[in-house]
Each structure stands twice: as C-alpha cells, then as structure tokens.
Chains A and B, each alone.
Chain A
Amino acid sequence: MDNELTALTTIFTEFYYWMTVVLMFLIHVGFCMYEVGASRYKHHQHTLMKNTLLIPLVTITWFFFGWWIYWAFPTGPGIAPSIMTESTGLVLGGGFGANELANPTNALMAVNLGDHIMGVFWAAFLLFSWTAASIVSGAVIERITTFAFGIMAIAIGSVFWSIDASWGWHFDGWMLKILGYHDAYASGVIHAICGGFALGILTVLGPRIGKFSSSGEPRNIGPRNPWLVCIGLFLIFTGFWGFYAACNIPIFDLGPEYGMEGVTYFTATNIYVTPTTLSGITMNFLMSLSGGFLAGYWISKGDPFWTYSGGLAGIIAASAGNDLYHPMQSLIIAGAGTAVAYKMHYWVERTFKIDDAVGAVAVHGYAGVFGLVVCGFVLWGYPSSGYNVGSMWVGTDYAPINPLGMIIGAIIMFGVLGFLPGWILAKILHGFGRLRIPRDVELAGLDYNILEQARKDERAVASSNR
C-alpha cells in the first residue's frame, strides 16, 4: 500500500473485523457456560468438552472446505447466473471466485503482504460457524456421543450454513435474485437453519431419560446452575454486538460499485452491499433485546430462564430486517417473535415429545422463521440489492423483498437446509449405533469415571502425611 488513504481504509477494515472476532469469541464462552449451567452435575465435564471441541473441528474444516463452499455456491449451482461470471455453474473465478479466494492452498489463505482482509473476513465467518454448531450443541446435551456431535458440528458449521449463506447471504446469491430474500443479521441463515437442524437430530435422538412421564407428560429438568446460565447468556448478548458488526462492511464507496457515474458515496453496508449505519443497527439491537426481554418475562410469568432466552429470541426475530427497521418496529417484532417461540416450544414438546434441553429450537428456529416471514411483509417492496432491481423468478436481476419470497426462504433455511440434513445424518449415525450414549452411561453420568477417580485421589491426599 503506497497511498495513505487506501492504507487507512484497509487497515481500519482489517482491525474492524478483527475486533468483531474477539467480541464474537464471547458468544462461545457464553455458550459453554450456558450449557454447563443447564446440564446436570454428573454430565458437566463431558458437556463442556463437547462444546469446546467444536472450536477446532469447525475451524479446520472451515479452512479445508467451508469457506470455499461459501464463495463457490451463490448460483445454486444451476439456479441463477452469477453477476460476475454470468454463468449458473459454480463460481470459481471472475474476481470473487472460490478458487481465487478460498482454496486452502492459494496465496490469500495465509500471511500475505498483498492482502489484509481475507484472514479476518474468513475468521468472522468462522465465528458464525462456531455459533451455528453451538446452537445445536445445547439442544442435545447429556445424551449425544461426542463423536456424533463432532460430525453434526462439522455438517452444520462447515457445510450447510455455508451453503445457505452462499445462497441467501451473499451479494451474488440466487435467493436474492429469484426470491427477493433479505436477512441482514441472519435470522434465517444462522438461526432458523440451526434450529431446524437441531430439531432434525432431536426427532431421532429422543429425550433424556426421565424427561417424560409414562403418560407422556413433560417434566422440567431446569438449569442446574442458574447463575452460570445467566452469565452465559449475558456473554452471548455481548458477543452478539460483534456478530452484528461483523455482518456489515464498515466502509464502502457505493457510487462506483453501483455504476453511478461521478457519484462518491461512502457508507457502511450490510453483507448485500446495500447501505445501513452501525449507529442505526445499534438502536435496533437494543430495542429488539428489550422487546424480547419484556415479552419473555410477560409470557413466562417472570421465569428467569425464559426471560433471558426471550432477549435472545427477540434479537433473532428482528435480525432479518434490523438494517432498515425503525427501533419501535424492532421492539414489537422482537416481542411477538419471543411469544411465538415460547408457545411453539411447549406445543412441540407436548405434541411430539421433543426434548430440546435449552430451548434452542424455539429461540433460534421458531423465532428465526418468524423473523423472516415478518420481514417479508414489513420490508415488502424494498430492493434486495443495490445492483439491477428486477422481479421475482427471473434470476438475471434482483427481486424486491416480498412475503412469498421470504416464506419460501424460511422453508429453505429451517426445512431444506436445516431439519432435513439433521434428520438424515442422525438416522445414519443411529443406524451405526453411534448417535446416542448407552442407557447405563446416561444413568450413571458421563463424568462418572472422572468423579470416581477424583474421589479416590481426594481420599489418598487426605490420608497422606508427607
């Protein structure tokens, strides 16, 4: 870089994304605390290990193929042509192709003096991938094997969320062009898909022993350590600030980008390269958090677990359109989304005997789907992209945001890329007898041997005199 302004812009962008990565790390700290707090004493250490191991597993597979998938699949392939290559095939070249940017053996996937952005951008997406796997992790605690969870974490973190992001969270994604899909802060591309994926696993995995009475009545296995759950959720909220910031491009000149002759317009944009402001989304984040808290407290009659979860569900419900909503719209959508998530959780639990240990399917899945559908109505007619605005189903230009497109988008996220792969993978692992821990291990506790050894050590130390 030999130009001062270019250097400042580049290094500001590099530092901006680096900061989002650090903040988003707190999401994972929060998830670990939350899961340990929600699990029973005899399963604590294995629960912690299960969630911790998704960090290395998703990281290395994101390097091997997850990042490549994101850049290769915006066209489907075969659904809508890329605006870069004008082909419906995999996007491998053309300026932002997978082989140019994300092939693990190429020049940009390492320390490179000619590039300051790829590594931090890769990492920001990776932290979304961890979040994706972590959402699933909470739902299946105390009975899934670590091996099976590792497979699931890689599948959702490095394959299916990467495909959905390529389709619906990419400036060239076919879902924007054909459907007018809009999901600025990932109601669908992270939350709905992971909720659906978790539900797919849970239908095969089954409930924890004792969760349902012989007559099928659900029993509450509440959080073992509410304080850890509380701190965990607060850390997730804190990390969520980084998540929102990471969904933006901090500084971009839209004039030349949109082909507007002689126009210079620097702004922050969302991932679709349409303008928004960090300032505005900060208001909306806080309003949706507040709407979720208030609704969660109200509908659960003051239950702390659901009040905190409501805050999260609220943000998730409003996230699809939080780049454009008025703060009061965010508040109301968040409140309504939280109420839907809460009611759906108990209805599904009673009707289908689904044991979602931490309410992950509800908070992420149902609230995410609700957020997508509502976004289609509230932002009806807005352009889904700053490039060529066209109409639905055509594919060569970008459809405006609309309810039908968003409903179809929600079905793709929750059902096609979420529930279905989760269910199929769980069935395969179940078929090999590797999905669920043995019944006697579940009863004794995953940590039984560790606890027994610790007790022996304690006795030996207590009886020692030198």
Chain B
Amino acid sequence: MEPTVTNWIDHLSASEVAGQIYPMVGTEIWWVLAGIVFWIGWTFATATGEAEEHEKLARKKHGSNDYKSNIAEW
C-alpha cells in the first residue's frame, strides 16, 4: 500500500498541492459504509441487550425502596 505522502518537500513544492493527505484516498465510500454498518450493528446489539436486562429485572418484582439495601459503603 503506497502512502499518500512520501516526502513533504516534494508534496508542498508541487505546482498544485494535493489537499487530501490521509491514507487510501479514493476509498472514502468504503470507510463511510463500514462506519454505517458499525453504527447499525451497535444499535441492534445494544437494543437487544437492554430489552433482555429489563425483562430479567422486571421478573424479580423488587419494591421501590429495595435498592436501599444495596447501597455500598466503599
């Protein structure tokens, strides 16, 4: 994989300085798609986890003051 910039002197003294200096110029669409996949995947995974957690806790039928017996005194 060829870096976008290999020599700053050559890069900045070119007749037209290329603005984009990040690696793999031209592949932006694939990185954006990867980001969208990550975001959607995260949403589904955490939504499922939250629903399961609520279901488990709800089954225990704790009262509204029960949490007080769990207050830690570290």
* A binding-site residues for B, Cβ under 8 Å: 41-42, 57, 60-61, 63-64, 104-107, 109-115, 145-147, 150, 209, 434, 437-441, 443-445, 447-449, 451-452, 454-455, 457-458
Which interface residue of B28, B29, B35, B57 has the most chain A CB atoms within 10 A? B57
The residue that B72 contacts in the complex, of A111, A439, A455, with Cβ under 8 A, is A455
Chain A: CB-nearest residue to B36: A64
Q: Total A-B residue pairs with C-beta atoms closer than 8 Å?
A: 105
Task: Give the chain B neighbours of A57 by CB distance below 8 A.
Answer: 39
Which of A440, A441, A458 contacts B73, CB < 8 Å?
A458
State how many angstroms separate the Cβ of B32 from the closest Cβ of chain A. 5
- Of B21, B28, B54, B70, the residue contacting A455 (CB under 8 A) is B70
Question: Which B residues are within 8 Å of any A CB, using their own CB?
Answer: 17-22, 28-29, 32, 35-36, 39, 43, 46-47, 50-51, 53-64, 66-67, 69-74
- A64, B62: Cβ atoms under 8 Å? no
Are B70 and A448 in touch, CB under 8 angstroms?
Answer: yes
Known A60-B35, A113-B19; judge A454-B54 contact (CB<8 A). Answer: no
Q: Are A147's CB and B50's CB within 8 A?
A: yes
Cβ contact within 8 Å between A457 and B28? no
> Closest residue to A443 on the B side, CB-wise?
B64
B-side contacts of A437, CB under 8 Å = 54
13 interchain pairs (CB within 8 A)? Answer: A60-B35, A64-B39, A104-B32, A107-B19, A113-B17, A113-B19, A209-B64, A438-B54, A438-B58, A444-B60, A445-B67, A449-B53, A451-B71
**Contact (Cβ within 8 A) A444 B57:** yes
B residues less than 8 Å from A444 (CB atoms): 57-58, 60, 62-64, 66-67
Find the A residue at minimum CB distance from B32: A104
Q: Enumerate chain B residues within 8 angstroms of A145, measured Cβ to Cβ.
A: 50-51, 54
**Do B28 and A454 touch (CB < 8 A)?**
no
Known A-B contacts A60-B35, A147-B50, A455-B70; the reply to A110 vs B28 at CB < 8 A is: yes
Give every chain B residue within 8 A of A150 (Cβ-Cβ).
43
Do B28 and A443 touch across chains, with their CB atoms under 8 A apart? no
- B21 contacts across to A, CB distance below 8 A: 111-113
Q: How far is the CA of A279 from the CA of B22 in the complex (A)?
A: 39
Chain B residues within 8 Å of A146, by CB? 46, 50
Asked if A112 and B19 make an inter-chain contact with CB atoms under 8 angstroms apart, the answer reads yes
Contact A454 B72 (CB under 8 A): yes
* Contact across chains for B32 and A64 when beta carbons are under 8 A apart: yes
A218 to chain B: closest CB distance in Å? 19
Query: Chain A residue with minimal CB distance to B71?
Result: A451
Q: Please, how many angstroms separate the alpha-carbon atoms of A454 and B67 in the complex?
A: 11
In the assembled complex, the CB of B15 is this many whole angstroms from the nearest CB of chain A, namely 13
In the complex, A150 Cα to B40 Cα: how many Å?
A: 12
Pair A458/B72 contact, Cβ less than 8 Å: yes
A441 to B64, CA, bound (A): 9
- Selected from A63, A106, A112, A449, the residue in CB contact (under 8 A) with B57 is A449
A157–B33 Cα distance when bound, in Å, is: 21
Q: Is the CB of A440 within 8 A of B53?
A: no
- 9 more A-B contacts (CB under 8 A) besides A110-B28, A150-B43, A440-B57? A64-B35, A104-B28, A104-B32, A112-B20, A145-B54, A438-B57, A440-B59, A455-B69, A458-B72
Q: Which of B18, B36, B46, B58 contacts A147 (CB under 8 A)? A: B46
Q: Are B58 and A41 in contact (CB under 8 A)?
A: no
Q: How far is the CA of A351 from the CA of B15 in the complex (A)?
A: 70
The residue of chain A having its C-beta at the shortest distance from the C-beta of B43 within the complex is: A150
Q: Please, how many angstroms separate the alpha-carbon atoms of A437 and B55 in the complex?
A: 9
Contact of B32 among A105, A438, A448 (CB under 8 A): A105
- Are A107 and B70 within 8 A (Cβ)? no
Shortest distance from the beta carbon of A434 to any chain B beta carbon, whole Å: 8
**A458 contacts across to B, CB distance below 8 A:** 72-74
Which of B17, B57, B67, B69: most chain A Cβ within 10 A? B67
Chain B residues whose CB sits within 8 angstroms of the CB of A114 once the complex forms:
17, 19
A232 to B66, CA, bound (A): 29
Q: When the two chains form the complex, which single residue of A115, A209, A434, A454 contacts B70, counting CB atoms closer than 8 Å?
A: A454
Closest chain A CB from B23 CB (angstroms): 11
A104 vs B67: C-alpha distance in the bound complex, in angstroms?
46
A441 CA / B74 CA spacing, docked (Å): 25
B29 neighbours in A (Cβ, 8 Å): 105
Given A107-B19, A113-B17, A458-B72: A448 in contact with B62 (beta carbons within 8 A): yes
For B48, the closest partner residue in chain A by CB is: A147
A209 to B65, CA, bound (A): 13
Which of B70, B71, B73 is most buried by chain A, counting CB atoms within 10 A of its CB? B70
Q: Measured between alpha carbons, how far is A325 from B1 in the docked complex, in Å? A: 58
Say how far B69's CB is from chain A's closest CB, in angstroms. 8
Say yes or no: A457-B72 contact (C-beta < 8 A), given A441-B57, A448-B67. yes
Residue of A nearest to B16 (CB): A114
